Copies of this chain bind each other. A is one copy, B any other.
Amino acid sequence: MRSSAGNAELALLLEVAGTPKPGNVDRHRDLADLCFEHFLAGAVGARDGLELAADGAAVGPAFERAVDGMATQDGGNTQFGALLLLVPLVRAARTELSQPVVEATVEETTVGDAAAFYRAFEHVDVAVADPPDDMAALDVRRGGDAIPELEARGLTLFDVMDRSVPGDDVAREWVRGFDRSFAAAERLAAADGPISDRTAATFLSLLAERPDTLVATRHDEATARSVTDRAAALVEADALETDPSAVEAFAEDLVDRGINPGTTADVTAAGLFIALEHEAIDV
């Protein structure tokens, strides 16, 4: 049987291999400066941090270690958001991988976990939106420099996620019991065919539901909304089955325009981990 840390690493690899995943690196597409190999190395590098979480380390330090390892490649940020979902899921799997247990896991995070989360931003450049005025001192881009302010306000990592919710659907998972991650796992299990096809179908269904928050951050809300509308039309038409070339064309178009729905990929990776861990999918 594969360990939880192994399943989490494999989830990262299966996520990047799944194709077509419109706008993102997949088995058949690279971006200009971000290649398949960077994701392979990112997944391998994250393993030690994932092992820490599986061994019972606190969420923040395990996450920081995973990000530090992930960043040991030349592509930059490959799996920061995915790890922010996977680390608490792996930690929860020590007890039971269920929504209540992972909810308790994130609610129990401390100010120390928040500090480690801020330090993680020193290992890699992550695309984030400007914070609201009252949170400027806590801009994650300040990295460890923000820690005294964090401590003064007594904010835990859960608190930080709670304040990041509008505009960050990874943070939203933290405060909503990983709803979409567990839903993604169910879809992966219910889908047909090889895992790569299931991954593509699940990714597209997630993208069709909610505008991708990374796209909104890097471009704007209208762009994110139009991508989701297009994904929804493809899902509505069951295009992966009936007109796969339309999905491939969508994938090419997004890559050409530099539009990468990375948050949707993060949730897909979390769903893959849950499905592997529950033995609901098999490799």
Binding site for B on A (CB under 8 A): 1-3, 6, 9-10, 13-14, 17, 27-28, 35-38, 40-41, 44-45, 47-48, 69, 72-74, 194-196, 282-283
Contact = CB atoms under 8 A, between A and B. Distances in A.
Given A6-B45, A47-B6, A282-B74, A40 B27 contact: no
Contacts of A48: 3, 6
A14 B44 CA distance: 11
Given A6-B45, A27-B27, A47-B47, A1 B40 contact: no
A45 B2 CA distance: 7
A72 B35 CA distance: 27
A35 B44 CA distance: 20
Given A72-B1, A74-B283, A196 B27 contact: no
B195 A283 contact: no
Most chain B CB atoms below 10 A, which of A3, A28, A37: A37
A13 B195 CA distance: 17
A13 B283 contact: no
Nearest to A195: B37
Contact of A17 (B3, B36, B195, B196): B36
- The 6 lowest CB-CB distance pairs between A and B, nearest first, are A41-B283, A13-B40, A10-B44, A73-B283, A6-B44, A37-B283
Nearest to A73: B283
Nearest to A41: B283
A260 B35 CA distance: 27
A18 to B, nearest CB: 9
A10 B282 CA distance: 22
B10 A194 contact: no
A144 to B, nearest CB: 21
Contact of A37 (B1, B17, B28, B41): B17
